[in-house]
Amino acid sequence: MKAKAVVHKEFRIGRIDDRVYGAFLEHLGRAIYTGIYEPGHPAADEHGFRRDVIEMVRELNVPVTRYPGGNFVSAYNWEDGIGPKERRPVTLDYAWRTKETNEVGIDEFAAWCEAAGTELMLAVNLGSRGLDEARGLLEYCNHSGGSRWSDLRIKNGRREPYDVRLWCLGNEMDGPWQVGHKTAYEYGRIANETAKAMKAFDPTLQLVACGSSHSFMPTYPQWEADVLDECYDNVDYLSLHMYFENYEDDYLNFLAKPVILDRYIQTVSGVIDYVKAKKRSKKDIYISFDEWNVWYHCRRQDNDNFKNWDWPAAPALLEEVYNFEDVLVVGCILNTFIRHADRVRIACIAQLVNAIAPITTERGGRAFRHTIYYPYLLASRHGRGESLAVALDAPRYDAKAADDVPYIDVAAVHDQAGKTIALFVVNKHPDEEAELTVDLAGFPSARLIEHILIHHPDLKAVNSADAPDVVKPQLQNGSVVEEGRVLCRLKPRSYNLIRLSV
């Protein structure tokens, strides 16, 4: 199979916001307890945080981490998680039918963020609570002192404010499953009033309103239009979520699903533009795609389990075992965000540890990297800079999820400071090697640095604590540069990173 692409130095989509490589941690299953926090573990630091997990997170260079939910936040009282731990109440989480010990709250998680080298993206509860509780949390986190909530933070051991810049106004409020679910008008009103109050405290805060939970919601895309009609002037981002599944075990259909993501972003971008025009506004709103991942391996079984169990504390929940096939889909998702750098400014893989996550821990034992850790790592490490437009001519196929799907998926990033280009390329074809030629217009002195490959002959190959390196990146001799063109040989069913010095 042969394919061609053209990348031009001057044809830029936009600067990639580093926060596109963000993540998410929720009080869900073992994400927090025995995930990032496990006092008594051999690798635990003085605060109870697992150093082995922190090391893996720091390797990913996660710029921002969303917390504490997720569905959890819509019935969460943040005050339960502050002060002396022995005085904190044990509460029930209605979202996942579990006990919450509240050993980790805002102060502990902020400390973990500092240790892990990530900034805090904090969600407020607009489900069971509202504006006043959000105002109190903001004051607790960001005010220097001399008021009720800021003085309480100082009393609890943190003198300097956390200065959280990025705030989510609730979570998935369009979803009937959400505690405190609202209509678009109801939610738009409370989001707007909460945003007004928060910006009265600090007009430089960046606020994220809830968009659709996925593009198959019956209220999509009218939800976006109605919500923004109420709060456009006072928010900065619109949140979108999407998870990818392969229940049919249909490889090519699974690899076509990122096309739905592409159209989802395009549609919501159009809605944003419509509301902007309707309001005669000069202000731009961007997309925060703050939940995304592959999620289906244990989803149905988990759904049955948590509906029937008796409120356990930190149970195993949503602990997906990712395979090599998932690497290719995650690679295409990340490429889609890169290609929409002009619209998508924040994205958070959901989640980071144990629950639908690239990192898994054993209670009291080892931690290891799932297969999907690696495309996320490579994109975060080498996908920062300017997103370049890619003109692609490649064979295509039709699938149930989408028609006219290219077998080759490409994103290009120009790092002007490092004087490099990164080509992220997925060959989806199940059987055929691809010969991809990329013309590098405006980069006459390009030369190859390396070709990194993720490939395995078995689509269902997985990593585990006992065999952590079954699927991982390796150097490949599959590319050469000749006269301003890159000639790439791509294995069938492969994820590739071609790095060039320019």
Residues 6+ apart with CB under 8 A from 367: 43, 50, 52, 53, 56, 359, 360, 361, 465
Do residues 102 and 148 both lie within one domain?
Answer: yes
Do residues 348 and 451 both lie within one domain?
Answer: no
CA distance 152 to 166: 22
**For residue range 298-318, what is the model confidence (pLDDT) as tens digits?**
999 998 888 889 999 999 999
At residue 74, what are phi and psi to the nearest 5 degrees?
-75, -5
**For residue range 108-161, what is the model confidence (pLDDT) as tens digits?**
999 999 999 999 999 999 999 999 999 999 999 999 999 999 999 999 999 999
Q: Of 321, 349, 384, which one is at a domain's C-terminal end?
A: 384
pLDDT score of 414 more than 90? yes
**For residue range 156-168, what is the model confidence (pLDDT) as tens digits?**
999 999 999 999 9
Do residues 133 and 269 both lie within one domain?
Answer: yes
Residues 6+ apart with CB under 8 A from 472: 369, 374, 454, 463
pLDDT at position 257 is: 98
Give the pLDDT mean for 273-282: 98
**For residue range 74-90, what is the model confidence (pLDDT) as tens digits?**
999 999 999 999 999 99
Return the CATH number at 115: 3.20.20.80
Q: Of 359, 384, 409, which one is at a domain's C-terminal end?
A: 384
For residue 329 the two structure tokens come to: 């889909």
Distance, first Cα to last Cα, the chain: 28
Do residues 380 and 393 both lie within one domain?
Answer: no
Domain count, the chain: 2
Residues 6+ apart with CB under 8 A from 346: 17, 19, 20, 22, 64, 121, 166, 208, 237, 286, 287, 288, 289, 290
Give me the active site residues, please: 172, 291
Do residues 367 and 491 both lie within one domain?
Answer: no
Cβ neighbours of 313 (radius 10 Å): 12
Give the pLDDT mean for 364-370: 98
Q: Of 365, 384, 403, which one is at a domain's C-terminal end?
A: 384
Give the pLDDT mean for 65-82: 98
374: pLDDT confidence band, cut at 50, 70 and 90? very high
pLDDT at position 141 is: 98
Give the pLDDT mean for 20-41: 98
Q: Which H or E run includes 239?
A: strand 237-244
For residue 12, the cross-strand partners are: 388
CA distance 317 to 329: 22
For residue 477 the two structure tokens come to: 């001799």
- What's this model's pTM, rounded to 2 decimal places? 0.97
Do residues 343 and 409 both lie within one domain?
Answer: no
> Domain containing 216: what range?
17-384
C-alpha distances in Å from residue 238, one per residue of 207, 268, 387, 412, 491: 9, 9, 21, 25, 38
pLDDT score of 336 more than 90? yes
pLDDT at position 163 is: 98
For residue 49, the cross-strand partners are: 37
For residue 355 the two structure tokens come to: 């629950």
CA distance 459 to 465: 19
Do residues 373 and 406 both lie within one domain?
Answer: no
CA distance 257 to 274: 26
Rounded mean pLDDT of the chain? 97
Do residues 420 and 356 both lie within one domain?
Answer: no
Do residues 338 and 416 both lie within one domain?
Answer: no
Q: Length of the chain in residues, anyone?
A: 502
pLDDT at position 118 is: 98
C-alpha distances in Å from residue 454, one per residue of 339, 374, 440, 469: 21, 8, 24, 11
Do residues 391 and 290 both lie within one domain?
Answer: no
Do residues 104 and 183 both lie within one domain?
Answer: yes
Do residues 164 and 145 both lie within one domain?
Answer: yes
Residues 6+ apart with CB under 8 A from 72: 26, 27, 28, 93, 95, 96
Return the CATH number at 454: 2.60.40.1180
